[in-house]
Amino acid sequence: MKAKTPEQSKTIMTDLVLPSETNPLNNLFGGELLARMDRAASISARRHSRRIVVTASVNHVAFNRAVPLGSVVTVEAKVSRAFKTSMEVYIDVWTEDRESGERTKANEAIYTFVAVDETGRPISIPEIIPDTPLEIERYEAALRRKQLSLLLAGKIGPEQASELKALFE
């Protein structure tokens, strides 16, 4: 399998925030934003693996800014790291000022997907080779996040979390 770059999985979805998608404060429901992020991340994971993908976990979500009614909201997703059958997808959410067009980062998230075959069994995927400084930073941090997740789930012991131990040495 030929390695790919994060750029090859890049997915951009842009849409408006409509009244039926907002809470009593006229801001986008968090659940609606989660669904948009999941769709963009799923497409990104599928572009990387060229396989059926399933959401394995939502590792991190930061709702840093409200997304008001009428906003243009853009969800950008890229695979940040690929493991044997799973991949981490980093998602950035931007809002666009209606008058100036200036973009502001509103939210971010990290999802994990697993590539599966037609019977639902995990299947190997290509590795990823980061290009930009941001892609390299996210790639390197992905292993720490994976080890932390496995450690918290009891799937590995502290002695196996080499990347995490290195942070404290």
In the chain, domain spans: 6-130
pLDDT tops 70 at residue 165? no
| Cβ burial, residue 85 (10 Å; 0-12/13-18/19+) | middle
User: What is the spatial distance between Cα 89 and Cα 84, in angstroms, rounded to a whole number?
Assistant: 14
Q: What is the pLDDT of residue 154?
A: 81
Q: Say which range, 6-10, 120-124, 156-160, 161-165, has the weakest mean pLDDT.
A: 161-165
User: What is the spatial distance between Cα 144 and Cα 24, in angstroms, rounded to a whole number?
Assistant: 38
The highest-level CATH class for domain 6-130 is alpha beta
Q: Say which range, 20-24, 107-111, 152-156, 161-165, has the weakest mean pLDDT.
A: 161-165
- Answer with the residue of higher pLDDT: 56 or 162: 56
Q: Say which range, 30-39, 40-49, 146-155, has the weakest mean pLDDT.
A: 146-155
Q: Could you give phi then psi for residue 127, rounded to 5 degrees?
A: -75, 170
User: What is the spatial distance between Cα 59 and Cα 67, in angstroms, rounded to a whole number?
Assistant: 21
Q: Is the pTM above the cut of 0.75?
A: yes
